[in-house]
Structure 1
Amino acid sequence: MLYSKNGLVPDIEEVISVSRKHKYCPYFRSRSMYENADLILLPYNYIVDPSLRYKHNIQLKGNIVIFDEAHNLESVCEESTSVSFSTTQISACIRETKKVLELMINDEEEVRTQMDNTVVPIGTEIQETNEVKIEKNDVAYLLASLHQFEDAVDVCAKSGGKKVTGIDGKVYPGEHMIELLSKAGFRKDMREAVSQTIDKIGQYLTAKAQNETIGEFVEKGVYLQEFSSFISTIYAYKHASSQVLDSPACVVRKLHKKITDDSIVKYFQLYITKHSSVITLNYWCFSPSVAMWYLHSCGVRSVIVTSGTLSPLDSFINNLGISFPIALENQHAANVDQILCARIRSSQSGIDLCGTFHKRSSSAYVFGIGEVIVRACQIIPDGILVFFSSYVTMNTCLKFWK
């Protein structure tokens, strides 16, 4: 198998080398191996971000999820369920949708012209050049809803909200974001339909780009894809609550009770800012438990969280919002009376230990550091750890001392 090297796991440089040798793309090769892999290493956000899971079709049902070095898991969870969108992006979505509608109308006119000028018998089907099936009414509905959303955002920015001392903009309760989308026709039950329409638009533009130059659509509807990700993140709870959970019945009832419209949005705040004529909607999550509920609803078999710096553990578990029936907390952390933070200003021979850029490569400075380390080793019975500010500094010191 490609990437297998004497039964050992290759590092990224070895993967690139092997891929060049066999003329494989390492990215797509890794994607194909993902389906049958026993162990997959990836960043936190690919696991906890609902929109990324949907985009990359990451299936977690029945799998064991391990978060290693999870001291920043809480902040990653909050960021993954937070999202921003501006009126500039909304306007770009409107332009893209309008262009698609124009292209579709032109396609229809071309088909009519073909039929008017054809000599084939009546009833014979004309072969369409575009194979992507997309309903014009769906695109028209999307366009109308985007216009309504743009108007609703403009009205919202002018009224209501609460000013917060020290920051620009206004703050609204989280449910205000849901109200804005619902008024424009982007209800929670429309999430899948809107995403599918936007996906089809992307396929349609890709097919058109292969046959003709359409200039501004070189990115193939990129702003519409961003909008799809935007509403997918906001309505992620609707998708999560409909999943079948492979969990004990008591846990299932607890999760289903929590994952509801009213209970989820209370963990969010809508922060609206306006700079010049651009209005930005910031839908921010203030609880890591939301992302963890979504994750649990995917039907994961187990969630294992490890780190040496999760203390206090009870508070950390409570913030994540899901139960951990098994917890191990070792007594490895140093007590306060065991820690001393101090600065050594000079060595035994009086050398000034000022490690500025101009002095840290000097023989005197390196010699002074060596004196301090030797003296520390003579006093401390069980060994010491020495950390350098950079590899360059470490190599300079080691070369001098040797």
Structure 2
Amino acid sequence: MELQAKDFHHPYSPYDIQLQFMRALYTCLEEGKVAVFESPTVTGKSLSIICGSLTWLRDHKRTVFQETVRHITCDDGEPEWMLEHAKRESIRAISEKKKKLEARLAEARLEEDKQKNALESLGGPRKRQKFNMSSRASDAQNEDTFALDDYDSESDEKSSSRNQKGHFTGFSSGTLELLERFNHKFSTRPGEDKDDGDEDIKIFYCTRTHSQLTQFASELRRVNVASSIPEGFGEALADANRLEEGIKHLSLGSRKSLCINPRVFSLENATAINERCLDLQRPGVPAQQKCPFLPSDENERQLAQFRDRTLATVKDIEDMGKLGKNIGICPYYASRSVIKHSEIVTLPYPLLLQRSAREALDLSIRGHVIVIDEAHNLMDAISSIHSVTITLSQLQAGIFQLTMYTRKFKARLKGKNMNYIAQVIRLVTSISDYLRAIIEKNQAPEGPVQPSDLMSGKGVDQINPYKLCRYLNQSKLARKVDGYVEYSKEQADRQADRKPSTPVLFHIQSFLLPLMNLSVEGQLFYQKTRGDIQLKYMLLDPMNQFREIVDDARAVILAGGTMSPMTDYKNYLFSYVPSSRLDTFSYGHVTPPENLTAQVLGKGIIGTDLDFAFDTRDSERMIIDLGRTIAALCQVIPDGVIAFFPSYDYLSRVLSIWKRPIADEKDQAVYDLIERKKPILHESRDMTMSIEALLQDYASNISLGRGALLLSVVGGKLSEGINFSDRLGRGVLIVGLPFPNIRSAIWQAKIQYVEEKAYRESLGSEASRQLIAKAAGKDFYENCCMRAVNQCIGRAIRHRHDYAAIVLMDKRYDRPAIQGKLPGWIKHSMASSSAQRPAGANIGSLSKFFAGRRARQI
């Protein structure tokens, strides 16, 4: 298909790079590619994704429609007019179905408008369904509620194998039965709405936070795309061709985001909410205790109303919660009936990246399009989602609670329940004893842990990990114990105004499950903390966890403002993807090149080499020269300047040296020298003021004409997601290269894993394979550092007419290998040989840059 003149239905006149983005995206979706797109924030990336993908989707639907009609045939010997009649009838049926759906959605929009107008005219909220349920989660409960059912491991093993369909889901049999009941009960609607849903390809758009999804929904409301009914199919489609077909969008969220039951959402903790929700649905719960908002046979009309109202207009996650409250139906469960009617489904990372979460939502991605935005941290997010940390204090609390529960229900715990509970206590005690021994032996602050060390306690070697794992899932032990503990606390003090505690045993279970089924890509570590010690299971390689998504989806698109360096995606996330299916794209800025300058400062203002490597960065002479150089930069860079340091600890050391009086400077401190140019503000690990207050103080100083210097940390609170546009960010200074601590146990394990993997996959002599492995580890380490740098750089230049200076303050930035990992738009603006020039010359060129910008504005 010729895309040069393609109308992508962009609400504005797109820039050339936006057209390039949309054309490339369209082609990747058409060809079923896996692709990585880098497009700076100011380039309208979200609208490019929306317009490119939805235009392809509607085109694809029209193609499928045409192919369906063309393949309609009649039996041999039947006249041609019968074939034409059959085609016309098929076209008419499809167009009538579309018109009927759009008419229903138009009615839903009209109803929404009426309600909105009523609210405005009355000057207050309309009377809604009363939510007068008690918020105390233990209402009408008694101790019997928390007793374990008899456990038959053999029968559960058979049902487990039937329900899990060849893989471990992480759900108990009761939960699986509940999900199955929902899938059958609400997957189709009776009567006239039965066939409204379709199995057409959908777009699943995923990003990190609900605020980013809300912003995406706002952009989606700006777009109108052509109908999926093709033109040129005769009179039968005359009306359909004029059909305004709105975008069918659904925003999915977790129970914590969507629950409308006060007895559940008041728990606040996500795990507690999930477990209490399932508790209220289990068989045997009295009718008065069940959740009244759950979809059922009695509220099918409300469910259909929820579906139509959801699809009528583009709604974000907050709108979904409000809609559920307005109608009186649970938006978390009701959303499932909307999935198959949708064209684009938005959801946060955890709901897409975890198989168990997808199964809980009955969400199939097979054959559909996956778009992951803000994907620069995707690999870290996958690792984090599949990692789990537990503390010694939590383990000790779990042992106490299990023991208390066993004593309370001892008379009612039959043989297998008692046997498995004893195994859990032995295993948790063994782990707890090992961590306590680390503290008592005064071992290093952190280090690797072997699974065998955790299971060295008495009798632990006799535990069958697979049977115990199955028991924990099937018996609901953690839910029962945590529920009983919470119930007991409330009974002890019914009047206490206390938030429910975090379910400890359920958290311990989430650690034990991966411990008993360790992945070769994961490893265990301990880390001492203040007064406690952590045990962490960490996923070192996200590839296999993401591979099932790539294998199932038609196309996978990763997009972000700063995806460079991209080699990690090819080497560690998509190494199994054929090169013919994998593409990468990097686009420049919409701002003209003269609006940006980038420089490497290899020397300070008094000639000290700026080299913030771990072994040299504590040099007081260099830190003092750094301060004087920053003072000189603040003299020529107007308004706001943000300086990013490698860590909170290093920033704290720099500030302490800057504040000391310097003898040869008449006892003047470097800090005072900088403050004469611009007021200094800084973030810290333990800030007394909020980030919002800090930013407000920073903006106020700039608006008053004083300018300001904001000292921040790479990977800190201000390094990502903050918009320093215009006067807020005329200069971005990166002090040093923020390499992770290579001496830490976790990073040693990561590098070792990368090197061993590269060694296994390489060919040649032993010496060459060793060199390849070492190079792979070094490249991986540098990439992690430069992704963090690139995120900080992206805080400036936020729109077409913005301008700023980027100053990289470390001579190592002059290395080709490091500069090669910068985004293309930075490399193109890099001043040649700036690292070799004296600092004064570079500062002079910055002065000319800003003088030129001021002259243009005049």
Report the TM range for the smaller structure's normalisation. 0.5 to 0.7
Based on CA coordinates, which of the two structures has the bigger radius of gyration?
Answer: 2
Q: SS state of the match for residue 18, structure 1?
A: helix
Query: How far did 1:77 drift?
Result: 1.4
- The change in CA–CA distance for 1:155 and 1:212 in structure 2 (over 3 A counts) is closer
What is aligned with 2:572? 319
Tell me the alpha carbon deviations over residues 293-332 of structure 1, each in whole angstroms, 9 at most, x when there is no partner: 4656xx7344613214434444312211553342232352
Q: 1:185 to 1:269 in 2, by over 3 A?
A: same
Give the direction of change, closer, same or farther, for the CA distance of 1:175–1:359 in structure 2 (3 Å limit): same
Distance 1:318 1:354 in 2: 44
Quote the Cα distance in structure 2 between the aligned partners of 1:171 and 1:305.
35
The verdict on how the C-alpha distance between 1:170 and 1:6 changes in structure 2, with shifts beyond 3 A counting, is closer
Structure 2: distance between partners of 1:61 and 1:13: 24
- Percent identity, aligned pairs only, is 16
How is 1:267-346 mapped onto 2 (pairs within 5 angstroms)? 267-274=521-528, 278-293=532-547, 300-302=552-554, 304-308=556-560, 309-321=562-574, 323-325=576-578, 326-330=581-585, 332-333=587-588, 340-341=597-598, 345=637
2:394 corresponds, among 86, 89, 97, to 89
CA distance in 1, matches of 2:552, 2:425: 36
- 1:2 equivalent in alignment to 2:306: yes
State how 1:93-132 maps to structure 2 within 5 Å.
93-105=398-410, 108=412
Matched, 1:386 2:802: yes
Change in CA separation of 1:202 and 1:139 when aligned onto 2, cut-off 3 Å:
farther
Does 2:448 align with 1:171?
Answer: yes
* Correspondences of 1:57-68 after superposition (within 5 Å): 59-60=363-364, 62=366, 64=368, 65-68=370-373
1:19·1:25 contact (CA, 8 Å) conserved in 2? yes
Using structure 2 for the length normalisation, give the TM-score: 0.30
Q: In structure 1, how many angstroms separate the alpha carbons of the residues matched to 2:706 and 2:528? A: 57
The alignment of Structure 1 onto Structure 2 pairs a total of residues equal to 309
Alpha carbons 2:399, 2:428 under 8 Å: kept: no
Other-structure match for 1:191: 469
Q: 1:209, 1:331 → 2: CA distance?
A: 53
CA distance 1:321–1:176, change in 2 (3 Å): farther
The code of the aligned residue for 2:449 comes to Y
Query: Can you give the 5+ residue segments of structure 2 that lack an aligned partner in the other structure?
Result: 1-304, 600-632, 640-675, 680-697, 708-725, 731-798, 805-856
SS at match of 2:390: strand
Q: CA deviation at 1:292?
A: 2.1
Does structure 1 retain, via aligned residues, the 8 Å contact 2:482–2:503? no
Deviation at 1:136, TM superposition (A): 5.4
Larger RCO, structures 1/2 (Cα 8 Å, 6+ apart)? 1
CA distance in 1, matches of 2:460, 2:361: 27
Give the direction of change, closer, same or farther, for the CA distance of 1:49–1:353 in structure 2 (3 Å limit). Answer: farther
* 1:222 is aligned to 2:503: yes
Residue 395 of structure 1: aligned partner: none
Residue identity opposite 1:386 in structure 2: D
Alpha-carbon distance in 1 for matches of 2:452, 2:554: 32
Q: Shift of the alpha carbon at 1:30? A: 3.3
Aligned-pair CA distance for 1:358:
4.7
Where does structure 1 lack aligned partners over 5 or more consecutive residues? 109-133, 239-260, 374-382, 389-400
User: Aligned in 2, Cα 1:50/1:85: closer, same or farther, shift over 3 Å?
Assistant: farther
Contact 1:270 1:284 in 2 (8 A): yes
Equivalent pair of 2:373/2:559 in contact (CA under 8 Å): yes
Deviation digits for residues 33-64 of structure 1, max 9, x if unmatched? Answer: 4587564322212333466567x466546363
What is the aligned partner in structure 2 of residue 47 from structure 1? Answer: 352
Give the C-alpha shift of residue 270 in structure 1.
Answer: 2.1
Deviations along 1:72-101, one digit per CA (max 9) or x if unpaired, are 101101212221112222222223323333
Q: Distance in 2 between matches of 1:7 and 1:49?
A: 29
Q: Compared with structure 1, are the counterparts of its residues 387 and 340 closer, same or farther at alpha carbon in structure 2 (3 Å cutoff)?
A: closer
3-state SS of 1:329 partner: strand
Question: Aligned runs of 1:137-286 on 2, under 5 Å?
Answer: 137-155=416-434, 158=437, 168-173=445-450, 183=461, 185=463, 187-197=465-475, 199-200=476-477, 202=479, 215=492, 222-234=503-515, 264-265=519-520, 267-274=521-528, 278-286=532-540
Q: Match of 2:347, SS? A: coil
Seen in structure 2, the aligned counterparts of structure 1 residues 317 and 191 have a Cα distance that, compared at 3 Å, is farther
- What is the RMSD computed on CA atoms of the aligned residues? 5.0
Task: Return the alpha-carbon distance in structure 1 between the equivalents of residues 389 and 705 of structure 2.
Answer: 53
Cross-structure match for 2:651: none
Q: Against the structure 1 CA distance between its residues 16 and 268, is the aligned structure 2 distance closer, same or farther, given a 3 Å change threshold?
A: closer
Gap change, CA 1:95 and 1:359, over 3 Å in 2: closer
1:70 lines up with 2:375 in the alignment: yes
User: Is the 1:273–1:280 Cα contact (8 Å) retained in structure 2?
Assistant: yes
In structure 2, the residue matched to 1:360 is: 702
1:219 Cα deviation after fit: 5.8
CA distance in 1, matches of 2:426, 2:523: 24
* Conserved? CA contact 1:101–1:136, under 8 Å: no
> Alpha carbons of 1:146 and 1:385: their partners in 2 closer, same or farther (altered >3 Å)?
farther
Shift of 1:194: 1.8
Q: Structure 1 residues 63, 173: closer, same or farther in 2, change over 3 A?
A: farther
Helix, strand or coil at the partner of 1:340: strand
TM-score, length-scaled by structure 1: 0.58
Moved more, 87-96 or 176-185: 176-185
CA distance in 2, matches of 1:57, 1:346: 52
Q: How much does 1:224 deviate? A: 1.9
| 1:269 alignment partner, SS class | strand
1:31 Cα deviation from its structure 2 partner:
5.5
For residue 137 of structure 1, what is the amino acid of its counterpart?
Answer: K
Structure 1 Cα separation of the partners of residues 408 and 453 of structure 2:
35
Question: Partner of 2:463: helix, strand, or coil?
Answer: coil
1:241 aligned partner = none
AA aligned opposite 1:328? D
**Kept in 1: contact 2:472–2:509 (CA 8 A):** yes
SS in 2 for 1:77: helix
- Find the counterpart in structure 1 of residue 112 from structure 2: none
Q: C-alpha distance in 2, partners of 1:19/1:102?
A: 43
Query: Any idea what the Cα deviations from partners look like across 1:105-160, whole Å, max 9, x if unmatched?
Result: 35x4xxxxxxxxxxxxxxxxxxxxxxxxx755324422343234323442466379
Letter of the structure 1 residue corresponding to residue 396 of structure 2 = S
Counterpart of 1:283 in structure 2: which amino acid? Y
Instruction: State the one-letter code of the partner of 1:7.
Output: A
Conserved? CA contact 1:169–1:272, under 8 Å: yes
